[in-house]
Amino acid sequence: MRILVFNAGSSSLKFGVFDGDLQILKGSFDRFGNDGCDQSLAVGNAAPERVRATHSDIGTAIAAVPGLLAEKAVAGLQAVGHRLAHGGTEFTGPALIDDAVLARIEALTPLAPLHNPAMIRALQLARDLWPDLPQVAVFDTSFHLSNPARATTYAVPSAWRAVGLRRFGFHGTSHRYVAQRAAEALGRPLVELRIISMHLGNGASACAVQYGASIDSSMGMTPLEGLVMGTRSGDIDPGAFGFLHRELGLDIPAIEAALYGESGLKALAGSADMRDVEAQAADGNTEAQLAITLYAYRARKYLGAYAAAMGGVDAIVFTGGIGENSASMRRRICDGLQFMGLMLDEDLNRSPDLSDRAAPRIHAQNSRVAVMVTETAEQLMIARDVEALLGRRTVTALAIPISVSGRHVHLSQQSVEALFGPGYRLTEGAPLRQPGNWVAEERVTLQGPKGCLHHVAILGPLRPRTQIEVSRTDSFALGIDAPVRNSGQLDNTPPVRLIGPHGHEDSTGLIIAARHVHTNPTDAAVMGLVDGDMVAIAVKSDDGRGLTFGGTLIRVAPGALTEMHLDTDEANAAGIDRRADGTLAANVHATPLP
């Protein structure tokens, strides 16, 4: 599928044309002024042609794109994809644009007042220029909607949270690509890896990607939070607003404008370009030296925090203009992390080859943590998302029965014998809806540091590794912080004591099961889904409450019955007592995990 991709900023516009993963044209407009703008255009792998064009703003630049495509004989467009900074909590994946969806995106402008307006304007202009082509929005925030509440919630009054004050995270398209590319280069499934993606450029953010899902990002409600950036401050005490108002008489718009445009490297060293800052520091400029050490310290602090949050790290990947090009900054960030088993190879770090979307390793042979560098490819990811969305026929009318899963355990034979005695065989009881699954007659007790859960059901058949599934409320009753995981993702999970009539066993494998839908290939095709999709499911209960559950994993297997599994906390939140049905939420779709 031939797809035109736009990435519009407040003062620049990047665009590209993709045919599958092949980029056949790459262009950009920036440095807009009364006399025009800088235009760059390259076909295939040819060197870019750079001229000073007459376009004075993004609108006139977009209007010039059809002519540039015709000039380079690029025809046959089938769709247009757009990068949108903020999709709120509603857009869990790419969305096909119509008037209703566009209105929903515009309503999110207060969450991204400096980013979304330019992107929305580009989308509107593209709809006018290519009215017969489907237009698809891909959101920076979607990848981070898998972040748990402990990572997204600010400890502020409930009225503030009710109007949308929460952490979102950005650069999601970049972090998603980087994590996938790192897994490919390592030759391991993404769902087995703990990756920290360091997107370091004029905008900068760190992201913890645990087993294929983002669990935390350094940016918050806006792209201001987190790392030091070119012109943005990164983390700052919110008390600064009151202080600056009292001491300097500054109002909120003036403070916000300074934090976005006059802070970061620009404020510390007089330039937002790390290349200039590094040159000044080498000449003895102490302000530039401070800027570099502060930039590296903040990045290293987040890196260490995310390693702790994930219980370890398998790979650290640098990307973005600084991450890709500054060997000294990569070294500064990694120095001091030897306690994690991270060691750089000085020669590999100095000159990594990033051609052809390579992801070279720059760590020493005895490093326990892989360290890699790769160019980000946000436009490629947008093109892939557009093709994935348009390449399937989504039917939302199919009802998905809801099954509420109470606390239960899946035991291994070793655990059965530890709890019930050598050679013991569980007594198969009532069958479950999923073929071949059943509830055993026996029960166990779960014991944690705070309390016990008695008469916990055992589900069969036996598994190679014991897995214990509880709700969030159950985890507090036990006094154990159980992570939200997909079934089978049991590495680095906390232990809990299982007690049976014969004895007890301290077993890892305690999780809060991520919500998911079991389905079969036939029903999946009707809904336009494939195994590994992450989608939103709208659920309505008998009392009319209901919820839309984003971040729902699709699990396709032959013979499976179509049903969605929620835990008791989720069912209570949606007002589900006995039976309810869900449907695939319209126009909201995410791409599958690798």
DSSP string, 243-297: HHHHHH---HHHHHHHHHHS-HHHHHHS-S-HHHHHHHHHTT-HHHHHHHHHHHH
DSSP string, 67-86: HHHHHTT-----EEEEEES-
Question: What does the DSSP 8-state code read for residue 45?
Answer: T
199 is in an annotated binding site: yes
Provide the β-strand partners of residue 463: none
402 and 408 Cβ atoms separated by less than 8 Å: no
83 is in an annotated binding site: yes
278 is in an annotated binding site: no
81 is in an annotated binding site: no
10 and 115 Cβ atoms separated by less than 8 Å: yes
**What's the order of all strands across the beta sheet hosting 36-43?**
49-53, 36-43, 22-33, 13-19, 2-8, 79-84, 135-139, 95-96
Residue 136 half-sphere exposure toward CB, CA atoms < 13 A: 28
DSSP string, 195-209: EEEEEESSSEEEEEE
What's the burial of 236, exposed, middle or buried (CB within 10 Å: 0-12/13-18/19+)?
middle
322 is in an annotated binding site: yes
B/e letters for 283-321, b = 16+ CB within 10 Å, e = fewer, are eeeeebbebbebbbebbbebbbebbebbeebbbbbbbbb
577 is in an annotated binding site: no
Selecting among 19, 21, 140, 276, the annotated active-site residue is: 140
202 is in an annotated binding site: yes
For residue 106, give the H/E element and its range: helix 99-106
201 is in an annotated binding site: yes
CA–CA distance, 520 with 557 (Å, rounded to integer): 5
45 is in an annotated binding site: no
274 is in an annotated binding site: yes
CA–CA distance, 233 with 464 (Å, rounded to integer): 50
321 is in an annotated binding site: yes
Residue 140 appears among annotated catalytic residues? yes
3 is in an annotated binding site: no
472: left (phi over 0), alpha (psi -120 to 50) or beta: alpha
494 and 506 Cβ atoms separated by less than 8 Å: no
CA–CA distance, 531 with 200 (Å, rounded to integer): 33
- Report which of 514, 530, 512, 527 is spatially closest to residue 594, judged by C-alpha positions: 530
354 and 375 Cβ atoms separated by less than 8 Å: yes
287 is in an annotated binding site: no
CA–CA distance, 417 with 394 (Å, rounded to integer): 47
77 is in an annotated binding site: no
CA–CA distance, 173 with 203 (Å, rounded to integer): 14
What's the burial of 578, exposed, middle or buried (CB within 10 Å: 0-12/13-18/19+)?
exposed
325 is in an annotated binding site: yes
Name the residue with tokens 């590994």.
532
58 is in an annotated binding site: no
- Report which of 488, 487, 470, 467 is spatially closest to residue 479, judged by C-alpha positions: 470
Annotated binding residues for substrate, written as ranges, equal 83
Annotated binding residues for Mg(2+), written as ranges, equal 7, 378
Annotated binding residues, written as ranges, equal 7, 14, 83, 199-203, 273-275, 321-325, 378
Catalytic residues: 140
Annotated binding residues for ATP, written as ranges, equal 14, 199-203, 273-275, 321-325
